[in-house]
Structures are given as C-alpha cells and as structure tokens.
Amino acid sequence: MAISPITIRILLGLLYGCVSVVITCGNLLVIISITYFKQLHTATNSLVLSLAVADLLVGIVICPFSMAQTESSCWYYESLLCKVKISFDIALNNSSILHLCCISVDRYYAVCQPLRYKTKINVDVATIMILVSWSVSIMTGIGVMIAGFQKKKCVGSCPVHIQIISTFVSTASFYFPASVMLSIYLKIFQVAQKQAHSIQNTVSQSTKSGVTVSKMERKATKTLATVMGVFLTCWTPFFLCITFQPVSNYAIPVSVIETFSWLGRSNSMLNPFVYAFFYSWFRSAFRMIISGKIFQGDFANSKLH
C-alpha cells in the first residue's frame, strides 16, 4: 500500500521536530552546566559553551525553517525567505564546524604540549578563537545571501545554485576544517600512544601496569575515533553532494540533498553527547540539572566528580 505524500510530510515533520527538541535540550544542558558550575569555568569549556550556543541556534532557528519546507509546495531561489534561510543555515552550521576545529586545537596543546598548554590556551586565546569562528561564519552567510540565486524557479527547497559559491562554501565550511581536525587528532593519537608506551617502559612491568596502559590506549582510540567518526559521518555526504551537484548538471534530487543536510544538522544533536558525556563532571552536572537539585540551593561551587 502506497504512502500518501501528506502522510510522508507528517512523518518527516515529526522526525524533524524530535531532532530539533533533542538538539535544543541537549545543548541547553551544556550551556546551563558551564554557566552555573564554577568548576566548569575554564578556557576549554568556553569553547564548548560557544559551540553549544551555535548548536542551540541550529535547533531553534534552522530546524523550524527546514520543517516549514516539508509543508511548503514551492520555494523560490530569489525569495527573501529562501535567502535568509540559506544565510542562517550556512552561518550557524559553519560556526559549529569551526568551533569543533578550535576544540581540536585546544586538545592538541593539552595532550601534545601539556607544559605549554596554560600559556598557549587561556581565556584570551579562547575568546579570539570564538570571535574568529563566529565572524567568519557570519560573513560567509551574509556573502551567500548578497550573492543571491540565479534561477527564479519554483522548487521544493532553496539550494545554493551557484557553482563558485558551492565550491567556496564546501571548502571553507568543511574540507579545510575537516583536514585540520583529522591531522590534529591523528597527531594527538600518536602522542597518546607514545605516552602510554613511555609509562609502560618506566613503571614496573606488573600486570596492573599493563592493564592501565592498555586502558589508556583504548580510551584514546575510542575518544578520537568517536569525535572524527561522528563529524565525518554527519557532514561528508552533504558536502560531497553540493560539491558534485554543479558538475552533475544538478542531477542529484533535492530530496537527497535535504536528507543529507538533516544528517549534517544531527551533528549539533550529537555534540553534547560526544564532548560532554565523555567527562564525568558533565554527567554529574546534567544529573543535578535534570533532577532539579540546583533549584533547591546554591550548588555553584559543588565539586563535580
């Protein structure tokens, strides 16, 4: 039995609505945790906080716009609504990706140059990273909106229909940051392995020591594989599509690109889990917030475990 288009729209609307809610709630937990608990007031967490703000805006601004597309039968490339939607979409998603890139730089100094970490990554440096990430993202979004769209054509979505812009946006928003992140995390993994082997060679060769080193290596592998795996899985299909779309004479269906764009947005939903749930103090903060304990007294100075 064939499913009617209206039923498909309703199901997609429900799915997108759930994604939007999870993105919003997950990132609100991160924002409240870092803002409320003084133990989490660090340079690294200021980057995580800014990332959560970008991801939160994806959930409350971009997702509703995209949900509206599932109910609309016609969008025009030249329409103001279409331009605004694309501008916000590019700016916020680009900001999220650039923040992930900045966090990878922070992790590089923390693992590879721990003695220089506090001098290289402090509040001022983190603030500069945040300002650069937002500035570049906003300028890119505004640039695309000013450039406009070529065809006054009624479609079920409003994709960027300019070859140069598609290539530029893909490179600036994904390929370059992804290359930087991949290089940095590979370096971090190599250094982590060397540190683990160094500990194994200097500490007594007991069974307990061997188990500890093995756990360190497995944790480093798991963490880095998860970070890069989630990021690449979410965003690679979408950016490959918009890169090859002009070359293929726009043969890729709009529905396919829109599906992959939602897969990319799901990275904003997964970031709180990837960057927060790995750390026990964030899990403790989340439990206190969800249980309402923070409303029962002043727990800002609580020691999170």
Phi, psi of 296, rounded to the nearest 5 degrees: -95, 0
Do the domain assignments include residue 246? Answer: yes
Which one has a higher pLDDT value, 272 or 148? 272
Share of the chain above pLDDT 70, in %: 77
The structure tokens listed for 195 are 């540190």
Q: Is 305 inside a domain boundary?
A: no
Helices (H) and strands (E) in the chain, counts: 11, 2
Inside any domain, residue 263:
yes
Please say if the pLDDT value at position 199 is more than 50: yes
300 falls within a domain: no
User: Poorest-confidence range of 53-57, 165-169, 203-207, 271-275?
Assistant: 203-207
* Over residues 107-134, mean pLDDT: 90
pTM: 0.84
Q: Is the pLDDT of residue 105 over 50?
A: yes
> The tokens of 223 are what?
């963490």
Whether 101 maps to a domain, the answer reads yes
How many domains is the chain partitioned into structurally?
1
Which has the closest alpha carbon to 157: 233, 242, 240? Answer: 242
Residue 101 lies in domain: 5-295
Residue 11 domain flag: yes
- Per-residue model confidence as pLDDT tens digits over 7-27: 777 787 788 889 899 999 999
Q: How confident is the model at residue 77 (pLDDT cuts 50, 70, 90)?
A: very low
Residue with the larger pLDDT of the pair 68 and 116: 116
pLDDT given for residue 228 in this prediction: 82
**First and final CA of the chain: distance in angstroms?**
54
Per DSSP, 73 falls in state S
Which pLDDT band, with edges at 50, 70 and 90, does 298 fall under?
Answer: confident
d(CA 73, CA 227): 37
Pairing state of beta strands 75-76 and 154-155? antiparallel
pLDDT tens for each residue of 281-292:
888 888 899 998
What is the CATH number for 214? 1.20.1070.10
In a domain, 17, yes or no: yes
